[in-house]
Amino acid sequence: MTTLTAPPPVRDRQRRARPVVLILPAAILTAILMVIPIVATIVRVVASGGTGLTELFSLPNVGRVFLNTAGWTAGSVVGAIVIGYAGALVLQSARLRFAGLWRGLLMIPWIIPGVVGATVWRWTLSTDYGILNQALLDLGLIGEPVRWLSNPDVVLWAVALIQIWVTAPFVMLMVSAALTSIPAERFEAARLDGAGGLAILRHIILPAIRTTTGICVLTLAIWALNSFTIIWVATSGGPAGASTILPVLLYQAFQNGDQVLVSSVALVQVIIGGVLAVLFARTMRTDLEEQT
Amino acid sequence: MRRSLGRASAGAGLWGTLAVLLVWSLAPIAVMIFTSFKKRADIFAVPVRLLPESWTLDNYRTVFTSSSMPHALLNSVIIGLLVAIATLVFCFSAGYALARFRFRAARPLALFILLGQVVPLTVLLLPVYQIVVSLKLSDTTIGVAFAHLAITVPLVTWMVRNQIAAIPYDLEEAAQIDGGSRFDAVSYITLPVCAPGLAAAGMFAFLQSWHEFLFASVLATSTASRTAPVALTQFASEFDVDWGATMAASVVLTVPIVILFVVMQRYFVAGLTGGAVKG
């Protein structure tokens, strides 16, 4: 499109040189902040002769950390998808008035800083002074206060709850946008054929927004796998490592000055991230091709 | 009859679901706001009540007069502005090149920058820390801002690229036919037309920096460069947590964000081309 227009001859040379020059600052910056760190990580692990990896896999709680990471990721993704879809479907309904207002209010957990969200939840989930336990006690749903953040069996799901609270609005936004692209005639036709709400959801809505679902699941998984702030602020990975996931383990190693362990955990994260990146690139490639 | 009954129950289900979602999303926010106005005795009262027994501004007074929060907020604003400006400079040039030129390296470079989004930040922690230290920028606002570019540049390049691609090239062409250079065309046509979008992208970068905790927590070791999120955790990490002041500080950190969000929405609504080319 652009190169077809006849340029003034004098500027021709400059023009051809320009695109790479324009893109170079951002590319160099990305290289310094991304590529060099990743290469440095790999080099450090290799240079240590694998002692870092041995150290990592001989940690007494390493199995627990991997299980925690998997459980936390799966829980956060499923929860955010369910709540985000519910929100998007409610907002999409023609019968709903003031949809813009409700959308704005439901977005709030997404726009406040993660540190604030985690801090506020830490207080909300407090065993003795938290409003959640009080509400559940008043409703008669629990007999005694739940130790959300200090019971090792509960804590991982409690912090996943915070992650869901923060990320569900993102799913809501993405799904809302995708829902508007479904032609209204399809709903009318289905309704004329006597389809109920669930049938419409299963046979019309879900297939139509399959790509969006894919992008959402992938993005949520990447966020959960790399999430650090929420767990760190809420529990610091405790009690006794019950909510420690890979990024938290890395941060603890960083604080202890154990550079080899930091690099080993980072390498494991890079490998997991690499697999997701391939999937991400594949999903985005269709997006790229549609746009260029 | 049956049909209207079904409709009524569907309506009730709709509003019921909305109510549940609203409580879920806003209850912690309400806890934050009301706790920030509670007196100390009130905060640790059992049974727990949402609303304060008697309202007080003491917690806010603590935050603004006897904590490091005011300085931290200033640091956060400075770092956020540095990040926003640097991000826009880097990303406008890269985004323009990606949107307007077709060249062999375009696809790989675009993918390269795009993939920056999926690199786990903790992976970068140690190397970026060492880079910042070796540049003698540790515990400075510039050092923290530099690290934050790792987050904003990949995301914003993409946003800006899409905004520029949405502006018809005919506009720039028209300016060049009238005798202007390409640089003139960009500075008098493209920049003004996508200004609202760039403002939104800049605010997005500012927000990312405002939220960031991981890098700031290791790079900012003293009040000289400590950002607001890090200062907030220091309220809560002592043995005797002052929950009233913590909640007041949380409100202070959240209010600018909500204001920015409202402003940003208006920019988004204004649209990217603003009807510059019709038909």
Q: Is the pLDDT of residue B255 over 80?
A: yes
The ipTM assigned to this model is 0.83
The pLDDT value recorded for residue A287 is: 56
For residue B46, give Cα distances in angstroms to A12, A135, A141, B186, B232. 77, 12, 18, 64, 26
The pLDDT value recorded for residue A7 is: 43
Name the residue with higher pLDDT: B1 or B114. Answer: B114
Query: What's the whole-number average pLDDT of chain B?
Result: 82
Side-chain-facing half-sphere of B95: CA atoms under 13 Å? 28
Amino acid at A23: I
Confidence of residue A5 (pLDDT cuts 50, 70, 90): very low
Q: Name the residue of chain A whose CA is nearest to B146's CA.
A: A33
- Kindly state the percentage of chain B with pLDDT values over 90: 29
Q: Which of B28, B122, B124 sits opposite A124 (nearest CB)?
A: B28
Mean pLDDT of A117-132: 90
Residue pLDDT, tens place only, B57-81: 888 988 888 888 899 999 999 999 9
Confidence of residue A2 (pLDDT cuts 50, 70, 90): very low
Name the residue with higher pLDDT: A1 or A91. Answer: A91
- Kindly state the percentage of chain A with pLDDT values over 90: 26
Chain A residues with CB inside 8 Å of B176's CB? 5, 7-8
The pLDDT value recorded for residue B270 is: 42
The pLDDT value recorded for residue B83 is: 95
Could you tell me if B202 and B88 are in contact, meaning their C-beta atoms sit under 8 angstroms apart? yes
The pLDDT value recorded for residue A11 is: 42
The pLDDT value recorded for residue B87 is: 92
CB contact under 8 A, B90 and A26: yes
Q: Which residues of B76-108 are buried (b: 16+ CB within 10 A; e: fewer)?
A: bbbbbbbbbebbbebbbbbbbbbbbbeeeebee
What's the CATH number for A59-291? 1.10.3720.10
d(CA B177, CA B189): 13
Confidence of residue A117 (pLDDT cuts 50, 70, 90): very high
Q: Which of B28, B123, B157 sits opposite A41 (nearest CB)?
A: B123
Token reading at A57: 């896999």
CB contact under 8 A, B125 and A262: yes
Residue pLDDT, tens place only, A216-249: 888 899 889 889 999 999 998 878 889 999 999 9
- Helix ranges (DSSP H) in chain A: 12-30, 36-47, 51-57, 62-92, 99-111, 114-124, 131-138, 155-180, 184-192, 197-200, 206-208, 210-226, 229-234, 246-255, 259-291
CB contact under 8 A, A266 and B236: no
Interface test with B, best of A15, A16, A30 (most B CBs within 10 A): A30
The pLDDT value recorded for residue B178 is: 80
Which range has highest mean pLDDT (A247-251, B111-115, B220-224)?
A247-251
The pLDDT value recorded for residue B62 is: 85
Token reading at A131: 């409003």
Mean pLDDT of B162-177: 80
d(CA B111, CA A288): 9
Chain B residues with CB inside 8 Å of A92's CB? none
d(CA A244, CA A68): 7
d(CA B273, CA B252): 35
Could you tell me if B227 and B212 are in contact, meaning their C-beta atoms sit under 8 angstroms apart? yes
The pLDDT value recorded for residue B4 is: 60
Residue pLDDT, tens place only, B15-47: 899 999 999 999 999 999 999 998 888 888 778
Q: A141-150, B209-218, B238-247: lowest mean pLDDT where?
A: B238-247
CB contact under 8 A, B21 and A87: yes
CB contact under 8 A, A269 and B120: yes
Q: CB-based contact (8 Å) between B232 and chain A?
A: yes
Q: Name the residue of chain B whose CA is nearest to A92's CA.
A: B14
Confidence of residue A12 (pLDDT cuts 50, 70, 90): very low
d(CA B1, CA A280): 50
CB contact under 8 A, B121 and A228: yes
